[in-house]
Amino acid sequence: MRRFLGLAAALALALSAGGAIAQEKIKAGWIYVGPIGDHGWSYQHNQGRLRVEQELGDKVETIFIENVAEGPDAERAIERLAREGAKIIFTTSFGFMEATAKVAKKFPDVKFEHATGILTAENMAVYNARFYEGRYVIGQIAAKMSKSGVAGYIVSFPIPEVVSGINAFMLGAQSVNPDFKVKVVWVNSWYDPGKEADAAKVLFGQGADIIVQHTDSTAPLQIAEEQGKVGFGQASDMIKFAPKAQLTAIVDDWSGYYVSRVKAVLDGSWTTAIVWGGIDSGMVNIAPFTNMPDDVVKMATETTEKIKTHQLSPFTGPITKQDGTVVGEAGKSLPDEDILSMNWYVKGIDDQLPQ
Amino acid sequence: MLELQAIILTIITASTPFLLAAIGELVAERSGVLNLGVEGMMVVGAVCGFAAAYSTGSTFLGVLAAIAAGTLLSALFGFLTLTLVANQVATGLALTLLGLGLSGIVGESFVGLPGVKLAAIYIPVLTDIPFIGRILFGQDPLVYLSFILTGVVAYLLFKTRIGLIIRAVGSSHQSAHALGYRVIAVRYSCVLFGGACSGLAGGFLSLAYTPQWIENMTGGRGWIALALVVFSSWLPWRAAIGAYLFGTVWILNLYVQPLGLPIPPQLLTSLPYLVTILALVIISANRMLTRLNTPACLGQPFVPDR
């Protein structure tokens, strides 16, 4: 009798444990391209993961691997998370696309989410943020705030995300001051504080009085602070580093998306999707406007609001390219494919786009 | 005029970490030890310097901590390669990996904190001289230290008995040993000096160059310093020229870009490396000189045979 009871208890335990795994606690995994200590791209993704833990704490266990190189290593890392039992895996760099697709084929029961990519599958979704929307806003602010009418722009690599950012910035600036100039410096790195600081010094030396960056470190803003100039934060709010110099920052906020997608796996409603969220979705977050007069704050707030409510789109046609050709239908925004593959400059940018 | 001043100032800050790290490695290599862990010692110096300065508010303590951290890591290298006679190349590479990982752990709670900047010196009147004042008399102390170190090392290596012993140990450890010099002890001190300089170079990055800590902030500068030592044919003043040549081309590339010339930026970014390689080739063309200065026992383990 006792033995029978024991057996029944074991059986019941096994059943309930199985039920718990299936319904209650799931594992969610993240793959980061950089160190979570970069205070930029990977840092912000990790903040999103922490939010998932905070909000769904007792239902989710999160795991992550940082500093994963794009290439063969990525596939191994993603597969490891899948083998460890992760039910949903976020791979947070463009270069993880092929690897994610491959592993997704091998693990049809696991949901995959790839950031900034273009490949989808039954169990692989892509998500991205319309950072260019924020860049239009800061373009307007720059044109208002700059006395010399010249901004310095520090950039990493000539990929569409970066190019569309420069264009949106310029279009925003031109909407305020048609003669606005921008000087572009490519540092060929996402993340090298020393080099970014040098680039900022050089740009200020060449007459720019406002600095914009599409690289991840806080160094350019620190230089601006030192030299009594101004600039914009990137990826995270950098006000602590430049209390007198940061005008605003374009903050990547993935937390809302991550929480909603993990929830979807929990309640079984997850389906593949292509999500490209802008200011409206909260993925692109504009930090508080600081160090500027009230009228500029007012203008920036209005523009942000207009973009948020879709009354304004940065890439509304017609747009004149650098070579003089015109694209886009009047009054209509360029289609998403064109923005996602942008490899040309708008008119007014004095730089040769590296091909 | 102002623009030129800005460029020169930028070049000086960009070149200083290369010079500091290269001068230390040069001494270590002169004694016959090849320490490929410069990058690792630098990054650990950067994080410890930042942590100490942030916690105490004193940049002086920060600099000391950076030096101590680099020295400590090089002591580990010394123990492995000199006492345990491990392979220097492999140990050096491992040291870099260790340094990068270790600095990430140490620095975890220091990410995203604004640091304390090492103050530049200010001498009334002198610093206020237009144009040259800021360049000659308005740098932070580590810039001057980098030149003092270069001078001292050049003097010690070639004008004193100590330098003769170091070079003898690097040229032929067997002969030096036979003459009664303590090869291992000499090498230990040179390796520790190299570590201290690398740590200091890292501290310069996190305290003066860009006062903050983020992982991997050395960005490969340690490797460039290593290359500069070879570039200099192990001569201190040449290392200084190399560091400034590299720094100058590095900054000029950033300077030329916004002018909108039709040169691909990828080419411009690779220029410092190309120029350095070119200079290396030209210098090595003089075989005699290279052979004369290359430490013959570089990278070779030494086991005293009584």
Q: What percent of chain A is predicted at pLDDT more than 90?
A: 73
Average pLDDT, chain A: 90
The answer to whether residue B110 sits within a structural domain is yes
Work out the average pLDDT over B157-162: 96
What pairs with residue A63 in β-bridges?
A29
DSSP code string of B55-117 = HHS-HHHHHHHHHHHHHHHHHHHHIIIIIS---HHHHHHHHHHHHHHHHHHHTGGGTT---PP
Structural domain count, chain B = 1
Nearest to B214 among A37, A195, A202 (CB): A37
Residue B78 C-alpha, separation from nearest chain A C-alpha, in angstroms: 29
- Residue B306 domain-assigned? no
Report the pLDDT value the prediction gives residue A24, as an integer from 0 to 100: 63
Find the mean pLDDT for residues A128-141. 96
Bridge-based pairing state of the strands A246-252 and A284-286: antiparallel
B298 found inside a domain: no
Q: Which residue has the tokens 């690779």?
A: B270
**What pLDDT does residue B136 have?**
87
B260 vs A6, more confident: B260
Helices (H), A184-331: 193-205, 219-227, 255-266, 294-308
Q: What is the pLDDT of residues A184-219, one digit of tens each?
A: 999 888 888 899 999 999 999 888 999 999 998 889
Instruction: Identify residues of B whose CB sits under 8 angstroms from chain A CBs.
Output: 2-3, 6-7, 9-10, 13-14, 17, 104, 107-108, 111-114, 117, 205, 209-212, 214-217, 219, 221, 250-251, 254-255, 257-258, 260, 262, 264-266, 269
Mean of pLDDT values over B58-63:
95
Tell whether the model's pLDDT for residue A12 goes beyond 70. Answer: no
Cβ neighbors of B13 (< 8 A, separation 6 or more) are A198, B143, B208, B209
CA dist., res. B92 & res. A73, Å (int): 24
What pLDDT shows up at residue A7?
A: 44
Is this prediction's ipTM beyond 0.90?
Answer: no
Phi, psi of A111, rounded to the nearest 5 degrees: -90, 135
Six token digits for residue A177: 């001051």
CATH number of the domain within which B190 lies: 1.10.3470
- Range with lowest mean pLDDT among B59-68, B83-92, B103-112: B103-112
Q: What would you report as the CA-atom Rg of chain B, rounded to the nearest whole angstrom?
A: 20
Instruction: Give the confidence band of A67 by pLDDT, cuts at 50, 70, 90.
Output: confident
Which of the following CATH numbers is that of domain A23-129: 3.40.190.10, 3.40.50.2300, 3.40.50.720, 3.40.50.300? 3.40.50.2300
Helix (H, G, I), strand (E, B) or coil at B206: helix
Matching residue, tokens 């604004």: B114
Across B91-111, average pLDDT: 93
Signed CA dihedral, B240, B244, B247, B249: sign only: negative
A248 touches chain B (CB under 8 A): no
Cβ-based neighbour number of residue B87 at 10 Å: 13
Q: What is the CB neighbour count within 10 angstroms for residue A267?
A: 8
Assess contact for A121 and A104: CB atoms under 8 A.
yes
Evaluate whether residue B127 is within a structural domain.
yes
The stretch A228-244 carries a mean pLDDT of: 93
Is residue B303 situated within a structural domain?
no
How many whole angstroms separate alpha carbon A301 and alpha carbon A310?
A: 14
DSSP assignment of A126-190, as one string?
EEEE-HHHHHHHHHHHHHHH-SSSEEEEEE----HHHHHHHHHHHHHHHHH-TT-EEEEEE-S-S
Q: Is the pLDDT of residue A14 over 70?
A: no
**Per-domain residue ranges of chain A:** 23-129, 131-252+284-340
The pair of three-digit structure tokens given for residue B81, joined into one six-digit string: 């390669």
Q: Please give the residue that has the higher pLDDT: either B31 or B275.
A: B31
Helix (H, G, I), strand (E, B) or coil at B269: helix
Superfamily of domain A131-252+284-340: Response regulator (3.40.50.2300)
Domain, as residue range, for B126 = 2-293
Q: pLDDT for B237-250, tens place per residue? A: 999 999 999 999 88
For residue A300, the distance in angstroms to the closest alpha carbon of chain B comes to 27
Instruction: Decide if B304 is inside a domain.
Output: no
Residue of A194, A350, A351 lying closest to B210 (CB–CB): A194
Q: Which two tokens stand for residue B227?
A: 């290359």
Of A38, A184, A236, the CB nearest to B258: A184
pTM for this predicted structure: 0.84
Judged against a pLDDT cut of 90, whether residue A60 lies above it is answered with yes
What's the one-letter identity of residue A312? L
What is the C-alpha separation between B174 and B97, in angstroms, rounded?
A: 32
* C-alpha count within 13 angstroms, C-beta hemisphere, residue B161: 1
Q: Is residue B174 part of a domain?
A: yes
Confidence of residue B33 (pLDDT cuts 50, 70, 90): very high
Return the pLDDT at B1. 52
A contacts of B17 (beta carbons < 8 Å): 194
Of the candidates A245, A322, A280, A296, the one whose C-alpha atom is nearest the C-alpha of residue A139 is A296
pLDDT at B281 over 80: no
- The whole-number pLDDT of residue A75 equals 94
Q: Is A236 on the interface with B (CB under 8 A)?
A: yes
Per-residue pLDDT at B214 exceeds 90: no
Average of pLDDT values for A19-37? 77
Q: Does A193 touch chain B (CB under 8 A)?
A: yes
Poorest-pLDDT segment among A124-128, B134-138, B191-195: B134-138
Task: Indicate if the pLDDT at residue B289 is higher than 90.
Answer: no
> Nearest CA to B162 among B152, B172, B147, B149?
B152
Over residues B200-213, the mean pLDDT reads: 94
Percent with pLDDT over 90 in chain B:
63
